[in-house]
Amino acid sequence: MLHGRIAEQAGITRLLAGESGALMLRGEAGAGRSALLDFAAELASDQIVLRASGAPEESHLPYGGLHMLLATTRPHWKHLPAPQRDVLERLGEPGDPPYLPVWNLLRHLAERRPVLCLVDDAHWLDRESLAVLSFCVRRLAAARVVILVAAQGELPALREIDELDLRGVDRQAALDIVAECRPGIVPQVRERIVEDARGNPLALRELAAGIGPAQVEGRLSPLGLHTGWPGRSRRADQLYGERLRALPERTRTLLLLAAADPAASLPELLTAARATPADLEPAETAELVEVRPAGLTPRHLLILVAAYQSAPVSARIAAHRALAEVSPERRVWHLAAAALEPDEEIARELAAIGTSSALERAAELTADPELRARHHAAAALAACDAGHLRRAADLATRATELSAEPSTLASAARVLATVEAEIGSPAKAARMLLDSAARIDDDDHATAIVMIADAIRLFGYSGDEGLAGQIAAAVWAAPAASHVPSRVVRSEAQPAWSAPLARSLPPLAKIMAGGPFSGFAAIGELVEHTPALATQQAITATSLGLMAADAGAALRLTSTLVADCRHQDLMGLLPYALQLQSHALLLSGRNAEALRQATEGLKLAGDLGQTHRAGHLSGVVALIAAMNGDEKRCRAYAESSLACCADHDAPASAALATWALGLLELGLGRASAAVTHLERVVAGPAHHPVVAVRCAADLVDAAVQADLPGAAVEPLALLEQWARDTRQRWIGAVALRCRALVAPDGEAEPLFVGALDLHGPSQASFQRARTELAYGQWLRRTRRRSEARSHLRAAHAAFEQLGGLPWAERAATELSAAGEPSPAEPLPAALRGLTPQERHVVFLAAQGASNREIAARLFLSPRTVGYHLYRAFPKLGITSRTELASLLQERRPPARGRSPDRP
């Protein structure tokens, strides 16, 4: 499959449709010239296709290329005049040039069917054949003949032909090529391949195919990818081997040094080789490299690959040692590349770098088994943080096989548990952590506390009731300052956060086991210490602290987490951080941003193979889609999440997806169906304590609408208990609203008013908008229409701003019933085919807003806005913004009282 060549394919298609013309495809080796010629041949399957290709060993043979091109046409030579036929018969022998015979033959063939001449590697074609092609190109208008030539570099003999330069493919096409050639490469390595190959399809394929299993799973050094290849690139040797072997020895040495360290500067290379700039002239003359002060730039990446792989091992080792003397920044990496036996000094320097690749190489250069195990454990943790799960598990396993030290085994166990949680069972991962925490020495309680906290977090995902007893026992045994006078916890050797984290364990364990949401003072203390934690520990603390439902604190903590993960390149932790931030953004009423973060996290989790994380993030996306009334997206992501959760024993994620389906039904006015879904979360088979309290208000609302008062009793009690435990104003407001929904008319109004007071002034809150809507409905039902309209207007405006279209339409219907024309009249049939996001974009564009202005309003990129308009126009049967404005004006007259800046 051709990637990234849509424009070039379109140009070839147009050329063939015109039935006559010529085009030269010009590009470096591996740019896709031959693939495009194959595309043209396939496209012209009903035409006469003639093919030829140049070769260096035949470039001196007169008319050799022409002989190949006309090889299949011999049966038609009889239709030519005898003298011209004789010229073709003696092609390559002394005599008259075959200009007219070839042209007349092509014209004869074209009388039957159009003719396509494909000439590959024309830069190696003999000059006599090129001269005949040039003669024919100048006469193409008189016949149905197309000549398509592919060449590298300039070709003066065909200067009159139109040219199409094949530049490097774009980044997405490059990523697609790598994924097609070598599935399963971790994102960081994939990005490195794309960067090194500079858009050349052949280089992309050779790099992806050539790297070894360890590199596929994330082992990288700052030296070239090819320096770690286990085999050789046959294609690189075919293209450049002979040219390299023809160079003088010192020139080859310079190219070997450049291949061993592509980042080396020109002075470093010359010093390491003990050479002068004159020694580079043969490589420049052969057009293998460009010489710049910053270093040698190869004409093609495969030149470096061939230069390195064609050198014997002894020459490579000598090159790395020479570069170690002149390159202080990469000195230790070159020494490590040249080392053939353990070297403790090099190992210490590598370990100080701290990356997983450096630590793994340090382990390989370490003779002492225990120290080697510590290096493996540290490498495993770094690989896990980077998202290299398979490699992290392999390194952690190696550490456990070598070590007997509790601290090393604990580090390895944390890595293995993290991998198990992401690709296997969270319950099994939690038990692994608890078992390992129990074996930790008394002088390392901080590590034990973190592992127990992680186990509690994973228990929250697993919902395994049998695990609750183990967690409770582990929590009681932990040296929490709240109930155990521990010399160790008070010791200066322990981190300041260990005691707050220990004190938070009992209430957290009770919450996860389905107990009351109490003990938030301890959790609040933990949150205060979170900024001082290492990123991995901060993620655990923030995840647990989110249960306090403090939107402001959650947003601050998660924003810091995401920034830290990006800055430190902790790609393995980033999906989790983005998940937490999306939850915090939802608490803050910033739904569009929450969707953007959740979608990014979902894509990255999929790339990294974090199946459990992907399942949970699919549930988050489904929940936001439910708020927006995007039924198709909600159901698709919810089903994906539920399928993943069934495979990985993760009921928390299943509860989230089930909540999304219930909220979708509630928003679309199908209250009975909403009750069915939501009861599964609050007290049914999809129960999860944290998700249950979050969706309790939706169940109360659905039960009232479905006239099932009994179904509202338990979720209302749960919600009011949550409000008392957390003391969060917004939760108290939601609890008052739900109490008002089930209260007699004579008691409801003070509850609605109290709820709005607790919500505060934020108009963009989804929950406040729900309260405004419920109060407005109650006021209209009690025939206080004038008062109802102000609350319904506020609800409608907030829902539209948040993208909650079904809720906005419900508010519009209530407004109409309250005596005011709806600001959102029923949509015309044409508009009903649009997605909610397309509808938003269309309405704003119809009012004259630019793509950039729409992007700012909807938290999108201008390019995404353009894409939505591109998708919407065909659905509406229009082609321009002017038609769009007229269409909406005709089909949906502006409602009275509508704000001019609102659709």
pLDDT digits (tens, 9 = 90+) for 633-649: 999 999 999 988 877 77
* H or E, element range at 421: helix 406-423
How much of the chain exceeds pLDDT 70, in percent? 86
Read off the pLDDT of residues 111-138 as tens digits, 9 standing for 90 and up: 989 999 999 999 999 999 999 999 999 9
Helix, strand or coil for residue 518? coil
- What CA–CA distance (Å, rounded) separates 554 from 548? 9
Residue 272 pLDDT > 80 = yes
Query: 120, 40 in Cβ contact below 8 A?
Result: no
Lowest-confidence pick of 192-201, 234-243, 840-849: 840-849
pLDDT on residue 890: 47
Query: 513, 468 in Cβ contact below 8 A?
Result: yes
pLDDT on residue 823: 46
> Does residue 822 or residue 101 have the better pLDDT?
101
- What CA–CA distance (Å, rounded) separates 849 from 855? 10
Query: 25, 150 in Cβ contact below 8 A?
Result: yes
- What CA–CA distance (Å, rounded) separates 620 from 624? 6
Highest mean pLDDT among 535-539, 569-573, 885-889: 569-573
Backbone φ and ψ of 630, nearest 5°: -85, 85
Residue 524 pLDDT > 80 = no
CA 858 to chain centre: 22
Measure the CA angle with vertex 395, ends 391 and 401; round to 5°: 145
The CB density around residue 900, as the number of other CB atoms within 10 Å, is: 6
Residue 50 pLDDT > 80 = yes
Residue 151 pLDDT > 70 = yes
Query: 343, 358 in Cβ contact below 8 A?
Result: no
pLDDT on residue 491: 38
Read off the pLDDT of residues 565-601 as tens digits, 9 standing for 90 and up: 998 888 999 999 999 999 989 888 788 889 999 999 9
Long-range contacts, stretch 234-242, CB < 8 angstroms, 24+ apart: 235/202, 235/206, 235/302, 236/206, 236/302, 236/303, 236/305, 236/306, 236/309, 237/306, 237/309, 237/310, 239/29, 239/300, 239/302, 239/306, 240/288, 240/300, 240/302, 240/303, 240/306, 240/307, 241/306, 241/310
What average pLDDT does this structure show over 42-51?
93
Per DSSP, helices labelled H in 115-200 are 127-137, 171-181, 187-197
The CB density around residue 71, as the number of other CB atoms within 10 Å, is: 11
The three-state (H, E, C) secondary structure of 641-657, written as one string: HHHHHHHHCCHHHHHHH
Highest mean pLDDT among 64-78, 438-452, 675-689: 64-78
* H or E, element range at 146: strand 145-151
Highest mean pLDDT among 236-250, 474-488, 523-537, 550-564: 236-250
Read off the pLDDT of residues 809-847 as tens digits, 9 standing for 90 and up: 888 888 888 887 644 444 555 565 677 667 767 777 776
Residue 81 pLDDT > 80 = yes
Rg (CA), the chain: 35
User: Quick one: 557 exposed, middle or buried, by C-beta within 10 A (0-12, 13-18, 19+)?
Assistant: buried
Side-chain half-sphere CA neighbours of 798 within 13 A: 23
Residue with structure tokens 């030269």? 24
Pair of tokens at residue 744: 């007699």
Identify the CA nearest to 386 among candidates 611, 179, 217: 217
pLDDT on residue 846: 75
pLDDT on residue 812: 87
Identify any residues that bridge with 297 across adjacent strands, giving them in sequence order: 290
Helix, strand or coil for residue 116? strand
Backbone φ and ψ of 877, nearest 5°: 75, 30
What average pLDDT does this structure show over 516-542?
66
Side-chain half-sphere CA neighbours of 374 within 13 A: 13
Identify the CA nearest to 678 among candidates 657, 709, 649: 657
Query: 13, 43 in Cβ contact below 8 A?
Result: yes
- Listing from the earlier edge strand, what are the strands of the sheet with 162-165? 48-53, 115-120, 145-151, 21-26, 162-165
- What CA–CA distance (Å, rounded) separates 708 from 711? 6
Residue 35 pLDDT > 50 = yes
Identify any residues that bridge with 431 across adjacent strands, giving them in sequence order: none
How much of the chain exceeds pLDDT 90, in percent? 51
Lowest-confidence pick of 74-78, 330-334, 429-433: 429-433
pLDDT on residue 475: 67
Residue 381 pLDDT > 80 = yes
The CB density around residue 688, as the number of other CB atoms within 10 Å, is: 26
- What CA–CA distance (Å, rounded) separates 731 from 762? 14
pLDDT on residue 579: 93
Per DSSP, 828 falls in state P
Read off the pLDDT of residues 382-408 as tens digits, 9 standing for 90 and up: 999 999 999 999 999 999 999 988 889
Mean of pLDDT over the chain: 85
- Residue type (1 letter), 222: P
Q: How many residues appear in the chain?
A: 903
β-pairing verdict for 21-26 and 48-53? unpaired
Band the pLDDT of 901: cuts 50, 70, 90: very low
Report how far apart, in Å, the C-alpha atoms of 583 and of each of 542, 563, 861 are. 11, 16, 22
- Residue type (1 letter), 487: R
Measure the CA angle with vertex 76, ends 72 and 79; round to 5°: 160
Pair of tokens at residue 231: 């085999």
